[in-house]
Structure 1
Amino acid sequence: MAPWNLHLVNVRLPLLDESKLYELKGAGGRWMSVKPQPEGTVPAAGALKLPLLNGKPHHDGETVRLDLEGRMLLPGFVDAHMHLDKAYSLAKVGNRSGTLEEAVRNYGAAVPGFSREEIRSRIRRSALAALSYGTRSIRSHLDFNLKAGREVAMRTVHAALEVREELKNVIDIQFFPMLPYGLRSPGTEEALAEGFRLGLDGIGGAPHLSPEPEADIDWIFALAEKYGRPVDLHADESDDPGVRTVAHIARRTVAYGMQGKVTADHLCALSAMDEKTAGETIRAMADAGLSAVTLPAVNLYLQGRGDRGLVRRGTTRIRELLEAGIPLAAASDNIQDPFHPFGRGDLLQIGQIAGYAGHLGAPGDLRTVLRMLTSVPAAILGLEDYGTAPGLPAHGVVLDARSVDELFAEVPPSRWVLRQGEWIHASVQLRVWDTLQLAPAAQEGGRPAGVADSETA
């Protein structure tokens, strides 16, 4: 079915100018016109209003005219760091201590027992969950457990690429295999090369866990240069201030001329360092053109396990990274697996958690957080078609909020997801803004009718 022509009015575009309302027109799956409206809302005679009926609007001929009544439209969230293959595995892979070390150990032991269809099912479920919350693009780090055998590692790769093909018309997914640390061998490179031939996108890993982290980092960069791939590494996911592999990642980035093509994730150890050391490390990252991703939900859960009394927050130095000009995204990481028993793939929830963890609650901070979920990760992933402008794909998510402050304060559950001019998902639970009508108060007791006393309820 061809995309409908779209005509949206009274739209708020916070990534352009939050103070204005816009009129948007689309055809052939792309935006044709994006224009500010005159002051205030425009008449919307004949326009449909949300919620959409059964997820699909009725339409007159080939055009859908929709009045968003001041609600927000974003180009879609971008999740720069997920583990789609691990998601929803908690029932089979437990973690009694709640530590990162046990999670790594238990999942590694369980991987050989996962069937290809089981991995496919988890990837499909978690990708579609993220889509339902408005995510349009994902970078997923894949388990690549060559220590358990090549067949085990490639099983995950095949499952992931099969799901990507299945979902290609609704969500974009990049896959970065996590090279096993301490396994620098021709066999590892051959498996990686096969993965690239099949369609993997870049190189990942967690070299800070290696007994020889710098040697592993050197090897990863040599492979990245040979195969022309970007690098995205778990870095310094530790409470130990002496874990500083990101400094070597920065040096290798400069040495290989890969500025703008390398991302470092987690960076928990930065928060454990003294101010001088942390400042020097962050400056080295900025000078090397590194991008970074904070994973606030998972790091709040995993880190600080050995602390007593005042427990460390676990997240990286969010504000300092931002002040240094380092592109910083916030992402989901793990969903209901041994690394993190919570989560649902909702980046708006992750943004709120980042606000809590990083003390980012001022109006300017919240707008920075919004960019950490949208335009910044889009640049990290290299999305050239991201935005809401004439000529770009008519992708987006409509959110049930009229300001960025309201968006993060309320985390509205309703989302309407647009993909190339098609509404592919719709939530129908609208919140009430200024039309709430309470029943008349009871003559005795002064409370609204129908509300019981707590003592008698």
Structure 2
Amino acid sequence: MVNTFELHLINAALPLLEEKKLFELKAAGGRWISIRKQEQPGELQEQQGGPIATLSTLSDGRDLSGCRIDLEGRMLLPGLVDAHMHLDKAYSLSAAPNQSGTLYEAIHSYSRVAPMFTKEQIKARMRKAALRALSFGTTAIRSHIDFHLRTGAEVAMRTVQAALELKEELSGQVALEFFPMCPYNSHTLLEQDAIHEALQLGLDGLGGAPHLSETPERDIDRIFELAARYGKPIDLHADESDDPTKRTAAYIAEKTIAYGFQGCVTVDHLCSLSAMDEEAAASVIRSMADAKLQAVTLPACNLYLQGRGDRGLIRRGTTRIKELLEAGIPLATASDNIQDPFHPFGRGDLAQIGQLTAYAAHMGSPQELRTLLRMMTDIPASILGLKEYGIAEGHPVNFVIMDALTVDEWFAEQPAGRWVYNNRRWLSVTRTEHHMGWVSDPEQHATQASGVQNKK
């Protein structure tokens, strides 16, 4: 019997749906039409329904149409969601070095060279970063883009044009959102006109870093006015500082309630929360929760940038991750900067970011690892407002297969193997030597780890 489904997967682990079970999934017309729990592991091996292929066969580039693809117990996740990147700055470190490693030198260094980049250079860097993230399983990205109006509107609009062209080019592979970093400290007519033009061209929301401003409340007021006028969400860098007096998040919460923007405002970094005493931090977090703010932690960059003035016991730099989660604030973890003056490392791999988050926040229990998984999938998908996200009947088929049998193994081993599918086609296949072999019962995996040969 020939398999007539567009995609037919068996022996798939779906940890976001139910652990310790395997599933059969069928798709047609680019949507899931059946997701069925297998009563017994491996039961479909003997049933009719077309020949069976494995992911190693897919890695060899063979045509698998009409086949059932056996995942051999591997994890299948909806495409990962990176809620905070700076695609336009990615891979710019050689042109914009940062000797001190501080946030302020990073800002100055990139601002100095930004006018020298052509639109094609900016777009090429953005494309490289987005496709690299795709190869690791990320199929949706929100990127903050620089808006260098002090060097002229033409310079600022180069990045906008590059971003919008890339968004169209990668449509169907990676869903891209772009938020301009609104200028601060000055409010010239030129700046106002340029922001209006950028929003009219199709940017997705409004961003900025008002905590860097000499007049942060005025800048926040202006951003909310623009967002209300254009019906756009807001996503702000907030309090990326070791200074405990930086508390723009509380004012952002106040304005969110005043404008009725609950659920439409995201704040990122929030480093100063960790520098405050317990009472002050709890007060800011309560205000955030009351305003239904969403939040993003950026552990890689903040571990690298923050605490530069400390001696002896150096602060970790990240925000109060566990406290935000306990307050019920939707919190995602994301990549931020990639090989630029703000962060010389990174590759757009959310598995790496998840592990860094676990280190920074002391999250290692089975329950905490599953929370971290949601911080790269369901939670950022909600922040980005993605419709029909997740592995469910009727939803678009958009997923990544990880070369691991359990969530615990994935975080601990960081296996390289990824198979990414979106828009009715395989987009990226990463070969691996890691996977230790399939077992019919995922619970047996720990006992098998030492005896099974490696597999391509």
- Asked whether the two chains share a fold, i.e. TM above 0.5, the reply is yes
CA contact (8 A) 1:56 1:423 kept: no
Is the alpha carbon distance of 1:4 and 1:335 closer, same or farther for their aligned partners in structure 2, counting shifts above 3 Å? farther
CA contact (8 A) 2:5 2:26 kept: no
TM-score, normalising length from structure 1? 0.93
Aligned-partner Cα distance in 1 for 2:135–2:13: 20
Report what 1:271 is aligned to.
Answer: 274
The alpha-carbon deviation at position 185 of structure 1 amounts to: 3.2
Report what 2:284 is aligned to.
Answer: 281
Aligned-partner Cα distance in 2 for 1:420–1:430: 28
Report what 1:295 is aligned to.
Answer: 298
Aligned-partner Cα distance in 2 for 1:385–1:54: 29
> Identity over the aligned pairs, expressed in percent?
59
CA contact (8 A) 1:416 1:426 kept: yes
The alpha-carbon deviation at position 41 of structure 1 amounts to: 2.6
Report what 2:10 is aligned to.
Answer: 9
Q: Deviations over 1:244-303 (max 9, x none)?
A: 110000000000000000000000000000000000100000000000000001000000
The alpha-carbon deviation at position 430 of structure 1 amounts to: 3.8
CA contact (8 A) 2:333 2:353 kept: yes
The alpha-carbon deviation at position 57 of structure 1 amounts to: 4.2
What is the 5 A alignment of 1:381-392?
381-392=384-395
The amino acid across from 1:381 in the alignment is: L
1:159 aligned onto 2:165 = no
Report what 2:214 is aligned to.
Answer: 211
What is the 5 A alignment of 1:343-354?
343-354=346-357
CA contact (8 A) 2:143 2:176 kept: yes
The amino acid across from 1:252 in the alignment is: K
Is the alpha carbon distance of 1:182 and 1:151 closer, same or farther for their aligned partners in structure 2, counting shifts above 3 Å? same
CA contact (8 A) 1:55 1:424 kept: no
Q: 2:316 aligned to 301, 306, 313, which one? A: 313
Q: Deviations over 1:109-165 (max 9, x none)?
A: 110011111101000000000000000100000001111110000000001111111
Aligned-partner Cα distance in 2 for 1:110–1:258: 36
Number of equivalenced pairs: 435
Q: 2:417 aligned to 414, 429, 442, which one? A: 414
The amino acid across from 2:304 in the alignment is: Y
Report what 1:137 is aligned to.
Answer: 140
Is the alpha carbon distance of 1:95 and 1:409 closer, same or farther for their aligned partners in structure 2, counting shifts above 3 Å? same
Report what 1:86 is aligned to.
Answer: 89
Report what 1:35 is aligned to.
Answer: 36
Report what 1:451 is aligned to.
Answer: none
Aligned-partner Cα distance in 1 for 2:309–2:324: 26
1:48 aligned onto 2:48 = no
Report what 2:442 is aligned to.
Answer: none
Aligned-partner Cα distance in 2 for 1:397–1:104: 35
Query: Aligned to 1:33, what secondary structure does the other structure show?
Result: strand
Query: Aligned to 1:407, what secondary structure does the other structure show?
Result: helix
Aligned-partner Cα distance in 2 for 1:409–1:86: 30
Report what 1:442 is aligned to.
Answer: none
Question: Where does structure 1 differ by over 6 angstroms across 4 or more consecutive aligned residues?
Answer: 435-439
Is the alpha carbon distance of 1:437 and 1:23 closer, same or farther for their aligned partners in structure 2, counting shifts above 3 Å? closer
The amino acid across from 1:79 in the alignment is: D
CA contact (8 A) 1:4 1:422 kept: no
Q: Deviations over 1:198-240 (max 9, x none)?
A: 2100000000000010110011101111111000000000000
The amino acid across from 2:37 in the alignment is: P
Query: Aligned to 1:63, what secondary structure does the other structure show?
Result: coil
CA contact (8 A) 1:4 1:421 kept: no
**Structure 2: which 5+ residue stretches go unaligned?**
437-447
What is the 5 A alignment of 1:58-73?
58-59=63-64, 62-73=65-76
The alpha-carbon deviation at position 101 of structure 1 amounts to: 0.4
CA contact (8 A) 1:77 1:135 kept: yes
Q: CA RMSD in A?
A: 1.6
Query: Aligned to 2:100, what secondary structure does the other structure show?
Result: coil
CA contact (8 A) 2:404 2:435 kept: no
Aligned-partner Cα distance in 1 for 2:384–2:326: 21
1:179 aligned onto 2:150 = no
Q: 2:403 aligned to 397, 400, 403, which one? A: 400
The alpha-carbon deviation at position 402 of structure 1 amounts to: 0.8
Worse overlay, 179-188 or 87-96: 179-188
Worse overlay, 224-233 or 420-429: 420-429
The alpha-carbon deviation at position 435 of structure 1 amounts to: 7.6
Aligned-partner Cα distance in 2 for 1:432–1:177: 41
Report what 1:427 is aligned to.
Answer: 430
Report what 2:119 is aligned to.
Answer: 116
**Structure 1: which 5+ residue stretches go unaligned?**
440-457
CA contact (8 A) 2:403 2:435 kept: no
Query: Aligned to 2:67, what secondary structure does the other structure show?
Result: strand
CA contact (8 A) 1:55 1:426 kept: no
Worse overlay, 370-379 or 180-189: 180-189
Report what 2:444 is aligned to.
Answer: none
Q: Deviations over 1:70-106 (max 9, x none)?
A: 1000011100000000000001100000000000011
CA contact (8 A) 1:29 1:422 kept: no
Aligned-partner Cα distance in 2 for 1:309–1:404: 36
The amino acid across from 1:50 in the alignment is: L
CA contact (8 A) 2:173 2:423 kept: no
CA contact (8 A) 2:172 2:423 kept: no
Aligned-partner Cα distance in 2 for 1:237–1:438: 47
